[in-house]
Amino acid sequence: MYMGFGAVLDKLPDNENKDIGKILMGVGMSLLSKVGGAAGPLYSTVFIQMGKSIDGKSEFDLEDWGNALEAATQGVVKLGKASPGDKMMVDALTPAVQALKDATQQGLTLGEGLKKSAKAAEEGMIATIPLVARKGRASYLGERSAGHQDPGATSTFMLLDTAAKTWANS
């Protein structure tokens, strides 16, 4: 992930395109080419699906972000054949999406909604600790995977928390 986001940072200064969708899709392609294992394709899917959802926009609001994250979650579910409770990044994404929908219905600001989304992702991440992994590499551990926090849910929370902190006053 470190190398992948390093590649993203290297490309962003050259990106004169203000289309958020295209920027997010470019992030996805960078992650796909630089991040190994299952994380590369999964996070690439997250950013590409978000980009497709926001394509053509130079600004976004809370509803746009919620729709984009929902598209990302659907992409991850399809690619990983995962569902909540499988001890995967979906366990953080799903409650984060619901929190965004709730925040949109409540008329919250982008910053407030992102904070609620990050908090929900954190709770989803923590909830993976007692689970037995049913998908992915951790599933090879069987019962031994219980008692450990899922790395995909953890990195998902970290990304959403960073977004919330970045746009906290939006």
The confidence score (pLDDT) of residue 17 equals 67
pLDDT tens per residue across all 170 residues of the chain: 888 888 888 877 666 668 899 999 999 998 888 887 788 899 999 999 999 999 989 888 999 999 999 999 999 999 989 999 999 999 999 999 999 999 999 999 999 999 999 999 999 999 999 999 998 888 888 899 999 999 999 999 999 999 999 988 86
CATH 1.25.40.340 residue ranges for the chain? 82-170
Q: Is residue 76 a contact partner of residue 89, using CB atoms and an 8 Å limit?
A: yes
The verdict on domain 82-170 having CATH code 1.10.150.120 is no
pLDDT tens-digit profile of 20-36? 999 999 999 988 888 87
